[in-house]
Structure 1
């Protein structure tokens, strides 16, 4: 990371803007990574080709444009990521009239091969001058249909946990009055995941159904702060969830007496542990839950070998994690392995079956650059020691479990349900376990069950 140069990062943003002005659309597309968060107020995960398909007709219809990017500041993050804050000004000319827009860009870039690529472009509007009707005139001239208004709006929120910034997105119904007090749910997802992955699908649907739905990047992940990066720490994630509940309870669009938690995969164990000790959580929904205790962890990881460490299975992984923690404490170096891999046996989720892991490995599914597919080795002791089933007897909230019959860890689901004092409602389907991660039809059905439960 120390060999990276700030000017190499800022030049990507500046040259992208110049390529727009010169209408060099291949160069525009080449500035971006395979999937990009494009954020003009409602963040969207899109491809470079989709960006060009949106920009080219409208921007080419202006007589000319000039984008100016300056005042850039660059922050590097381990191990291959950079963030840029910059001022921009865009002059648009048509038929002798001009419209000027100015504000800030917030950009995220990742080193791909030997090149920096944009993975996030957020435009923060501050001021405009001239003729703002030029945008509509250009749309008509270019024959571009009027934009479709989403069924939800998004409020970007930040809050602090332990002095570290957490970034979240609150999804709200577009039709709700600005002073509405809505039922709310925080939606939390799998290990090492970011808010642009699984939870985004559920939050958008919940907002469309009338809920205020919060997603976050846990500390150590995504846009949130925290070192080392890619740390899976159940205790810190529980702190983040409690802080997210604080945020919801104080938000002017949330009814504090109707707050729920929704957990997907490993997020199910985290939300259950939180709800067991927080009476502000009125209802609980667990979707495709991964719920392990010590014995299930031994079964799942029993054949895992760790080079350089004695033994196999959980004991070897815990020893590797402790040694990684010692190295990090000594010199700040975090040992990273893939979260998921079909070839690297060091991965947190290893299976010699690429088709099974396709959600994680395909860039068109969950393998997005904003995630990075990394797991800090020092995570192993706390992750393996976390008992997701221990909270079940203490839960008093009405609980829904939606899962595939042959889920990722069906024995954990059964043990959890059996341990509850108040039996949960369990809905089992014949879907594949990863259909709950990005399968539109499966998520539609699961969200419908969640909405009915939370109503």
Structure 2
């Protein structure tokens, strides 16, 4: 049975003290309630809590304020202008502009209190007031962080889809304007199970006596609301919001599309606590386990240390940067070598990787999709000293053409702090669910081969340059099998200037193995010194200038030459063509073949 929280049924009620307060907003006296730890001595972090439309402070704002007070905060819930016990001549009007101004007035009031740490004052908006609270946090220098619970975030376009289309919305706005002109605004019952003219007809919570239908609730709605409400754009504050934000919601809440639209416009650190479609809008108002989780997440966000915040930012950036194809930036989140474990997904054992290796793998497939979305949420961090662990839920979706593949599960991270920077040292994915088909990867890999995004050009170039360095190291080690494995199956070597004395190259791994097989028998030592290693505009084409010094077998002589070469790579980082340019006269002298060269020419 679902446990419902009310003001008589909260955890540790004896630990919370309340205080009736009043403050001024644009000449109007607003009434509020302060909830704080009963044993508070000094100043504490503080939160301003606001609720859903038409509500009063004793409903869900008071529920969350008490929960936060039990967790050590000074929390304020108050009645907006024209609602509850607050003054205001325009009664029961849901006016976003007025309510946002009230939040800013509440902010000024909280900063003035001796028991409030004004450097740690945050805002928590529930449902409709999420938009108002987001605006206030975006614009106020005194509000440092933002939490949105079951956010209802609409703009006029979204509102039309909710309220019956453009014609219906125009009619409601006209009624609002007419009431404004006449000065006789009709007041409706806000929520009802019998009156189908109520804006919230048959809505849970508001119509239930043991939940939201409390004596303090006005349960009234002025038609003057329609114009300011339906023309309101709650999404614009996302463009200027620069402060850490927590978003708590579910796929089953009233307006998940609005939350998604807001998130896409944000350019700030965002944490998410997300539930499934079995959690409704009204569950966020008073369902015990949901309110507890949301309050815990809010506390964690507000009081997180700079290290914890940095780690959450790293964890959540993994998905964002991968989706954007910004592999160069993504590589910088990882240690020089780290463990990667995707065994639950592909059956392959965990392996040590370098950032270049992983980015090379990801950049060879992810840009080929029409769209990907790696949504990481519910990040939890445990940081001690220079070591940390983190856990995050993930839903990874991939689209290409008509094909779709999605996996869900969670990531476990280990991180270490080196020279003041946190880096991922281990990343393990645990698969929990899968839908669609893995056949999407073939077309994506083919498509990725034709794309070189600005965000991954550098990482591809660095990967390929690292392979060139390995190419020469393996030659120095005379490890010809490993050297040949750097080539694609049909890769080739081309020697365009041989003077008719030296081989012109070879194609295919078998031919390359045969071409280079005499090396161990002919040389005691090989040394290559790279003087220039450059990527061209196409990062899969690398130019290298180098000197070679080869000691002939039994130390019978030393051959030296200067080389200019180009390497071409496929999307998997394999060499498809190696062009070796050298001076054949110098080579002929070094190998005692000058007479043969002169005869050939």
Note whether the superposition's TM-score is higher than 0.5: yes
Structure 2 match to 1:346? 197
Q: What is the rounded CA distance, in whole Å, between the counterparts of 1:149 and 1:277 in structure 2?
A: 34
**Displacement of 1:268 after TM fit?**
0.6
Structure 2 match to 1:439? 287
Q: What is the rounded CA distance, in whole Å, between the counterparts of 1:349 and 1:389 in structure 2?
A: 23
Q: What is the rounded CA distance, in whole Å, between the counterparts of 2:155 and 2:190 in structure 1?
A: 20
Flag structure 1 segments of 5+ consecutive residues without an equivalent.
1-43, 48-147, 304-310
Correspondence 1:454 to 2:311? no
Structure 1 match to 2:70? 208
Match of 1:325 among 146, 155, 180: 180
1:294-333 superposed matches below 5 A: 294-302=156-164, 312-328=167-183, 333=184
Confirm or deny: 8 A CA contact 1:228 1:334 kept in the other structure.
Answer: no
Change (3 A) 1:349 1:313: farther
**Displacement of 1:349 after TM fit?**
3.0
Q: What is the rounded CA distance, in whole Å, between the counterparts of 1:418 and 1:406 in structure 2?
A: 19
Structure 1 match to 2:532? none
Confirm or deny: 8 A CA contact 1:359 1:434 kept in the other structure.
Answer: yes
Correspondence 1:161 to 2:35? no
Change (3 A) 1:337 1:209: same
Structure 1 match to 2:217? 371
Q: What is the rounded CA distance, in whole Å, between the counterparts of 1:149 and 1:269 in structure 2?
A: 30
Correspondence 1:289 to 2:156? no
**Displacement of 1:149 after TM fit?**
6.8
**Displacement of 1:423 after TM fit?**
4.6
Structure 1 match to 2:256? 410
Change (3 A) 1:291 1:339: same
Confirm or deny: 8 A CA contact 1:265 1:289 kept in the other structure.
Answer: yes
Structure 2 match to 1:26? none
Q: What is the rounded CA distance, in whole Å, between the counterparts of 1:288 and 1:454 in structure 2?
A: 18
**Displacement of 1:444 after TM fit?**
0.7
Confirm or deny: 8 A CA contact 1:406 1:433 kept in the other structure.
Answer: yes
Q: What is the rounded CA distance, in whole Å, between the counterparts of 2:233 and 2:56 in structure 1?
A: 22
3-state SS, counterpart of residue 224 of structure 2: helix
Match of 1:239 among 101, 113, 129: 101
Confirm or deny: 8 A CA contact 2:211 2:286 kept in the other structure.
Answer: yes
Q: What is the rounded CA distance, in whole Å, between the counterparts of 2:8 and 2:126 in structure 1?
A: 23
**Displacement of 1:266 after TM fit?**
0.6
Q: What is the rounded CA distance, in whole Å, between the counterparts of 2:233 and 2:13 in structure 1?
A: 43
1:393-404 superposed matches below 5 A: 393-404=239-250
Q: What is the rounded CA distance, in whole Å, between the counterparts of 2:259 and 2:247 in structure 1?
A: 8
Structure 2 match to 1:261? 123
Provide, for residues 291-338 of structure 1, a one-character-per-residue CA deviation record: whole Å limited to 9, x for no partner: 0011110000016xxxxxxx842101100111111222xxxx431112
Structure 2 match to 1:120? none
Point out the structure with max Rg over C-alpha: 2
Provide, for residues 169-223 of structure 1, a one-character-per-residue CA deviation record: whole Å limited to 9, x for no partner: 111111211xx11101100111111001011111011111110100100010111
Match of 1:392 among 215, 229, 238: 238
3-state SS, counterpart of residue 215 of structure 2: coil
Q: What is the rounded CA distance, in whole Å, between the counterparts of 1:252 and 1:195 in structure 2?
A: 23
Q: What is the rounded CA distance, in whole Å, between the counterparts of 1:230 and 1:334 in structure 2?
A: 10
Structure 2 match to 1:335? 186
Q: What is the rounded CA distance, in whole Å, between the counterparts of 1:409 and 1:343 in structure 2?
A: 25
TM-score, normalized by length of structure 1? Answer: 0.62
Correspondence 1:271 to 2:271? no
Provide, for residues 342-371 of structure 1, a one-character-per-residue CA deviation record: whole Å limited to 9, x for no partner: 554433334xxx3xx121111211012311
Q: What is the rounded CA distance, in whole Å, between the counterparts of 2:29 and 2:225 in structure 1?
A: 20
Identify the range of structure 1 (425-434 vs 215-224) with the bigger mean alpha-carbon deviation: 425-434
CA-based RMSD: 1.9
Confirm or deny: 8 A CA contact 1:417 1:423 kept in the other structure.
Answer: no
3-state SS, counterpart of residue 359 of structure 1: coil
Change (3 A) 1:346 1:255: same
Confirm or deny: 8 A CA contact 2:7 2:62 kept in the other structure.
Answer: no
Confirm or deny: 8 A CA contact 1:337 1:377 kept in the other structure.
Answer: yes
Flag structure 2 segments of 5+ consecutive residues without an equivalent.
1-5, 304-601
Matched residue count: 294
